[in-house]
């Protein structure tokens, strides 16, 4: 079996495939493959396995910027939980008898004197 180095593979790809950019490298296909997996929703461990990276850290260091930002979805999740838990206005929590499930109001502590 003949083994080709990356320069030979790149030259072959430029010859065989029309429309490749001038700076195309054979290794670019690997990055393209990873970006397709990520865009389709693959998790870090799946991409790591497909690219045969030794660790997920390598995958994240190289492709972490391609995964969607989850900040907005986590904000929405927390907002929904808080709204569901505290449907009454905040002042009703402090108003005695406003909520049946509210814990009894605590009395202020007395200052310690010697």
Structure token pair of residue 47: 């991409």
Helix axes 44-51, 56-63, angle to 10 degrees: 100
C-alpha span between 114 and 111 (Å, rounded): 10
Alpha-carbon distances of 81 from 32, 33, 76, rounded to whole Å: 38, 37, 9
Q: How confident is the model at residue 70 (pLDDT cuts 50, 70, 90)?
A: confident
What pTM value is reported for the model? 0.53
Asked if residue 66 lies in contact with residue 37, where contact means CB atoms within 8 angstroms, the answer is no
What tens digit of pLDDT does each residue of 14-54 get?
Answer: 777 778 777 878 788 899 999 999 999 999 999 999 999 99
CA 24 to chain CA mean position, Å? 29
> Where are the chain's structural domains?
6-66
More confident residue, 110 or 16: 16
Task: Summarize pLDDT for 84-103 with one digit per residue, the tens.
Answer: 887 755 555 555 555 555 56
Closest CA to 101 of 86, 80, 82, 79: 86
Q: What is the pLDDT of residue 77?
A: 86
């Amino acid at each position: 079996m003949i083994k080709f180095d990356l320069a030979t593979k790149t030259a072959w790809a430029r010859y065989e495939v029309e429309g490749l950019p001038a700076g195309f490298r054979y290794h670019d296909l690997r990055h393209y493959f990873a970006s397709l997996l990520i865009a389709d929703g693959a998790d870090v461990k799946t991409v790591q396995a497909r690219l045969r990276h030794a660790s997920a850290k390598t995958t994240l260091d190289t492709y972490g910027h391609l995964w969607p930002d989850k900040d907005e979805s986590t904000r929405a999740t927390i907002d929904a939980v808080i709204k569901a838990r505290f449907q009454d206005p905040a002042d009703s929590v402090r108003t005695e008898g406003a909520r049946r499930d509210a814990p009894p109001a605590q009395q202020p502590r007395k200052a310690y004197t010697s």
